[in-house]
Amino acid sequence: MATSKKVKKIQITTTINGQEMELLIPPYISLLETLREIVGITGTKEGCNDGNCGACTVNIDGRIVDSCLVLGAEVDGKNIETIEGMATPEGLHPLQQAFLEEAALQCGICTPGFLVASKNLLDNEPNPSEGRIRHWLSGNLCRCTGYDKIVKAVQKASDKS
């Protein structure tokens, strides 16, 4: 019955921050590991590896996910945005600037996840209420700030957009 097959690496083609890449990856590794260990971009952080902290938040085809809960194999043909793709040659994204100005980060480990999640919110809803921001970000844990300055930074960036 069970025919145990040797585990073979698989090839995927995916677009990361606008750049198409062909990657050869073990089939069982997460998108988070794919980004950090295979692609070599480490801005996406691991806090829990079980979808409860949001530090590994990335955007796949316009929706945010916890990249620890996605297999690298699943993103073949998909478009991925990470924290590394947020600033442009013209400068920081308004959210990044607002996080700096509002002191919305202390240790900074959760910051990439919050920024990617907040950008997705503002892309869809340019002027969210405080309650909506808090609801949208409830999948992102921060242990340093008490969220106050994060929420204010998102509000500030939303006013600008």
Partner 1 sequence: MHPYNYYAPENIDEAVGLLEEFGGKARCLAGGTDILVQTRGGKFELDAIIDVKKIPELTKVNWTENHLVFGSAVPCYVLYEDKKISSKFPGIIDAASLIGGIQIQSRASLGGNLCNASPSADGICPLIVHNTICVIAGPKGYREVSVDEFCVSPGRNLLDEGEFLVSLKVPLPTTGFGAAYERFTPRNEMDIAVAAVGSSVVIDSGKITDSKIALAAVGPTPIYADKASEFLEGKDASDENLNQASQIAEDSCSPITDMRGDVEFRKHLIGVLTRRTLDLAIKRSGGN
Partner 2 sequence: MVSTADKKEYKVIGTRPIRHDGYDKVTGRAQYGADIKLPGLVFGAVLRSPHAHAIIKNIDTSEAEKLSGVLAVMTAKDLPRLENIQRASAEESGSEKHLSENVLAHKKVMYKGHAVAAVAAGDINTAEEALNKIKVDYEVLEPVINVDQAMDKDAPIILEGFEADHLGKKVLNTNVALHEIHDFGDVEKGFSESDFVLENEVNMQTVHQGYIEPHNATAIWDEEDRVKIWTSTQGSFTVRDSVSKVLGLDVSRVRVTPMEIGGGFGGKIPIYLEPLAAVLSRKSRRPVKLIMTRTDVFESTGPAPGGKVKVKLGVDSSGKILAASAVIKLEAGGFPEAFIEAASQCVFSCYDIPSTRIEGYDVIVNKPSSAAYRAPGSPQVAFAIETLVDEICDKKGWDPLEFRVKNVARKGTRTALGPLYTRIGLEECLEAAKKSDHWNSKLNDNLPSGKKRGRGIASGYWFNIGFKSHVNLALNSDGTVALTEGSTDIGGTRAAISMQAAEVLGIPAEDVRPSVVDTDSIGYTDVTGGSRTCYATGYAAYLASQKLIEEIEEKAALKWDIDVTEVVYENGIIKSKSNSELKMTLKEFADDSPGGPVTANASVDLEEAGGGFGVHIADIEIDENTGKTDVVRYTAIQDCGKAIHPSYVEGQLQGGATQGIGWALNEEYYMSQDGRMENSSYLDYRMPISLDLPMIDTILVEVPSEEHPFGVRGVGETPIVPPIPTISNAIHNALGIRMSSTPMKPSSIIESLKNK
Q: Residue numbers of the site for partner 2 (CB under 8 A)?
A: 36, 40-50, 52-53, 55, 82-84, 86-87, 92, 96, 99-103, 105-112, 115, 130, 133-135, 137-152
Task: Tell me how far apart the alpha carbons of residues 141 and 124 are, in angstroms, rounded to a whole number.
Answer: 22
Task: Say which entry of partner 2, partner 1, none residue 38 contacts (CB below 5 to 8 A, set by partner kind).
Answer: none
Residues whose CB is less than 8 angstroms from the CB of residue 76 and which lie 6 or more positions away in sequence, other chains included: 12, 13, 14
8-state DSSP, 1: -
Q: How far is the CB of 101 from partner 2 (least distance, A)?
A: 7
Name which of 77 and 135 has its Cβ closer to partner 2: 135
Name which of 51 and 94 has its Cβ closer to partner 1: 51
Choosing from 21, 138, 159, 161, the residue that interacts with partner 1 (CB under 8 A) is 138
Name which of 99 and 114 has its Cβ closer to partner 1: 114
Instruction: State how far the alpha carbon of 50 is from the alpha carbons of 12, 35, 69, 130, 154, in Å.
Output: 24, 17, 7, 27, 26
Taking the alpha carbons at both ends of the chain, their separation in whole angstroms is: 58
Of 34, 59, 68, 29, give the one whose Cα is nearest residue 119.
Answer: 59
Q: Which residues bind partner 1 (CB under 8 A)?
A: 1-5, 7-8, 10, 26-28, 30, 49-52, 54, 57, 60, 63-66, 68-71, 73-74, 117, 120, 135-140
